[in-house]
């Protein structure tokens, strides 16, 4: 599903990749839509671990933790040669017009994803590390959306440049270190 | 293709929507990939007109023209009830892993799209309207990528909020009006 998209990954391909008997799919999943929901949950579990290991790393300043998150994700994307991007972003554009259950699922994931970022940004604001002229949640949404846009361009250009550009500009402007 | 995606729009559907005889598709297009290239070109022609009418509007300041572009696009997206987004962004995530010709096509579109934004940003920088600590082209790429991220979230949440958030934060930070 990551490589071929929601529609490109047929049930037959999925079953065959899994080495499962043909016809077993419907014993485990109501539909391909339900299967994609489980795929999203597993993928997001993996992201939660990265969030925990970076935004939860108390050895860094709050602003430093956010930078660490984007740098760790950049390393993961590099390992895939900038070709795959983020499954959540990919499915967001592919399926949200047509599948209401998957769209709602994705919307819930984004809402949960925002929270640890918002907490980290609020901490950076409270410590005077960055400006507090916008609510932390709005900044978290802005950053995550911008990062998804950067990954979109990365996929099209097969290049890390959009990611590095995003980090350089975001950390010098939206997340600028406040003068003491 | 806009509503159902590249894979979701079958050649049979396309021909039937166009009221063309079955089998006529291959008289006009080498492949569905070639057809999608033409669709992208027509769509980008439409965007070029919006770019011209907004970024080319000399009655506004350069920074005001950029704002106008995003506001006009917001109006178009509203007419589609936040459901469709941008065909270029949608295809970027759906096809760029698998189709090299379409990926290259999309990459060229983004490169051309950046230029009028970069010119407008350079003008705003030269006039002292915004800061000049980043090259205009880098800022143009950052803004367009961020806007695509905002449209992604708009599609998932069926809401204008990510677009309004993008504009409010981008114009107060990355494109902040310089004190005189």
Distance between B2 CA and the closest CA of chain A, angstroms: 9
Give residues with Cβ within 8 angstroms of B137, minimum separation 6: B114, B118
State the Cα–Cα distance between residues B172 and A112, nearest whole angstrom. 26
Q: Residue B23's pLDDT is what?
A: 84
Q: How does residue A13 score in pLDDT terms, banded at 50, 70 and 90?
A: very high
**CATH classification for the domain delimited by B32-172, as one of 1.20.1330.10, 1.10.357.10, 3.40.50.2300, 3.90.76.10:** 1.10.357.10
- Residues of chain B above pLDDT 90, percent: 96
Neighbouring C-beta atoms of residue A121, cutoff 10 Å: 29
Mutate to test the interface with A, among B173, B174, B176 (most CBs of A within 10 A): B173
From residue B178, give the alpha-carbon distance in Å to each of A56, A163, A171, B126, B175. 36, 26, 19, 12, 9
- Tell me the mean pLDDT in the region B93-115: 97
Contact B133 A172 (CB under 8 A): yes
A4, A103, A176 member nearest B156 (Cβ): A103
Name chain A contacts of B149, Cβ cutoff 8 Å: 144-150, 152
Q: Residue B112's pLDDT is what?
A: 98
Residue pair A154/B93 in contact (Cβ under 8 Å)? The answer is: no
State the Cα–Cα distance between residues B29 and A56, nearest whole angstrom. 53
pLDDT in tens, A28-72: 999 999 999 999 999 999 999 999 999 999 999 999 999 999 999
Tell me how long chain A is. 180
B130 has a pLDDT exceeding 80: yes
Q: Residue B147's pLDDT is what?
A: 98
Contact A156 B107 (CB under 8 A): yes
Domain range summary for chain A, segments of one domain joined by +: 32-172
Neighbouring C-beta atoms of residue A145, cutoff 10 Å: 28
Counting one residue from A and one from B, how many pairs have CB atoms under 8 Å apart?
A: 159
Residue pair B89/B151 in contact (Cβ under 8 Å)? The answer is: yes
Residue pair A149/A92 in contact (Cβ under 8 Å)? The answer is: no
pLDDT in tens, A157-173: 999 999 999 999 999 99
Give residues with Cβ within 8 angstroms of B28, minimum separation 6: B35
Name chain B contacts of A168, Cβ cutoff 8 Å: 134, 138
Q: Tokens in use for A144?
A: 């995550």
Burial class (CB in 10 A: 0-12, 13-18, 19+), A171: middle
B51-73: buried (b, 16+ CB within 10 Å) or exposed (e) per residue? beebbeeeeeebbebbbbbbeeb
Contact B94 A97 (CB under 8 A): no
Contact A5 B7 (CB under 8 A): yes
Average model confidence (pLDDT) for chain B? 96
A180 has a pLDDT exceeding 80: no
B22 has a pLDDT exceeding 90: no
Q: How does residue B179 score in pLDDT terms, banded at 50, 70 and 90?
A: confident
Neighbouring C-beta atoms of residue A146, cutoff 10 Å: 26
A110, A139, A166 member nearest B169 (Cβ): A139
Q: Residue B14's pLDDT is what?
A: 94
Q: Residue A153's pLDDT is what?
A: 98
Q: Residue A179's pLDDT is what?
A: 83
Question: Is the model's pTM score more than 0.90?
Answer: yes
Task: Give the residue from chain A lying closest to B105, CA to CA.
Answer: A156
């Amino acid at each position: 599903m990551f490589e071929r998209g929601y529609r490109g990954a047929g049930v037959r391909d999925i079953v065959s990749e899994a080495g499962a008997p043909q016809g077993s799919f419907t014993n485990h999943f109501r539909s391909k839509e339900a299967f994609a929901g489980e795929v999203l949950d597993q993928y997001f579990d993996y992201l939660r671990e990265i969030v925990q290991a970076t935004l939860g790393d108390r050895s860094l300043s709050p602003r430093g933790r956010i930078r660490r998150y984007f740098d760790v994700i950049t390393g993961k994307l590099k390992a895939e040669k900038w070709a795959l991007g983020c499954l959540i972003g990919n499915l967001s554009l592919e399926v949200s017009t047509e599948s209401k259950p998957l769209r709602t699922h994705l919307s819930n994931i984004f809402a949960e994803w925002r929270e640890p970022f918002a907490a980290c940004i609020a901490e950076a604001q409270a410590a005077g590390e960055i400006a507090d002229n916008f609510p932390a949640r709005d900044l978290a949404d802005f950053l995550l959306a911008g990062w998804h846009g950067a990954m979109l361009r990365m996929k099209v250009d097969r290049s890390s440049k959009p990611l590095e550009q995003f980090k350089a500009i975001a950390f010098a402007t939206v997340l600028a270190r406040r003068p003491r």
